[in-house]
Amino acid sequence: MARPKKYESYLIDIEGVLVRDKRYEPVPGSLEWFNGLQAQGVRRVLVSNNTSHTPEALVADLVWAGFAVEPEMLVSALAAGAALLESWGKKKLLWLGMDHLARWWRKQGFTLVDGGDCDAVVLGINPDLTIADIDRALPSLVDHDAELVALHRNFFYLDGKGERRFGPGFYCGGFETVARNPAVVVGKPRERIYREALKRVGSRPEDTLFISDDPVSDLVTARRMGMGTAFVLSGKYSDHEILGRLDQEDWPDIITDRPASLENPDRIVGDN
């Protein structure tokens, strides 16, 4: 098997790659691997669809787990969503994500309402979302033409017990049937967060490897933008059966059990 190409920069998903799930238990070998990248001269930026933690809390949890992470190394869907809404001048929001993040939104200068007249209905993960919460969005979308903004469109995620829970993508499909316009998606797999991450890491796509446990929602876009892609089996999927849903041209370049095995991966796609 040929050795994988050397890249000068890595864009790295967090959950399922560095840590198992929302318990933030490190994937075996990930601490040593990640913390050793700087000594190897590899630039790295974390690209996360996480909408259960503020960016500050996410960095703090990673540092507590032992990862050498600085705030500027994180590009998060939550922060990117706030910046996008700010640039549009949309400050009055119906937030349908986790309740404890309401304070963070207000700290960023947004006004949160319970429904009705608002600028945007914003979706993040929320395992406690109820029918009553969904009903509150209807007048905003139907009568007041609020923008529908999904911080990401993943259909499920792994919670703190490692169990699958419905994500914003599940609800977004229903909301789009009544919204005036299609949802604006902030995080992966939309290109805007990849472009921000490339800008942050200071690298060209062809010199960058994107590492993720989700080949469908994360790696297809990275590959189409010209990046190398590595699929690790330490998170959402324990085997590569999921690749059967993709056209072969969208398959990742590398498949391996965990990021620490990237130097000696299980498979380099296309290698003879």
137 and 163 in a single domain? The answer is yes
Rounded alpha-carbon distances, angstroms, from residue 192 to 35, 62, 84, 207, 225: 27, 24, 10, 18, 11
CATH number at residue 216: 3.40.50.1000
3-state secondary structure of 121: strand
CA–CA separation, 248 and 262 (whole Å):
21
Token look-up 């990117």 returns 80
Query: Whole domain around residue 114: which residue ranges?
Result: 89-185
Report how many domains make up the chain.
2
256 and 223 in a single domain? The answer is yes
CA–CA separation, 232 and 265 (whole Å):
9
φ, ψ of residue 66 in degrees (nearest 5): 115, 0
Q: What is the pLDDT along the chain (272 residues), one digit of tens a residue?
A: 456 688 999 999 999 999 987 778 999 999 999 999 988 999 999 999 999 999 999 999 999 999 999 999 999 999 999 999 999 999 999 999 999 999 999 999 999 999 999 999 999 999 889 999 999 999 999 999 999 999 998 887 777 777 888 888 888 989 999 998 899 999 999 999 999 999 999 999 999 999 999 999 899 999 999 999 999 999 888 888 999 999 999 999 999 999 999 877 766 665 53
108 and 155 in a single domain? The answer is yes
Question: Environment class of residue 131 by beta-carbon count within 10 Å: exposed (0-12), middle (13-18) or buried (19+)?
Answer: exposed
| Closest residue by Cα to residue 47 from 8, 85, 75, 5 | 75
Tell me which of 157, 185, 213 is where a domain ends.
185
119 and 177 in a single domain? The answer is yes
99 and 123 in a single domain? The answer is yes
pLDDT of amino acid 87: 97
196 and 165 in a single domain? The answer is no
CA–CA separation, 118 and 39 (whole Å):
49
Q: Summarize the chain as % helix, strand, coil (round to 5).
A: 35, 20, 45
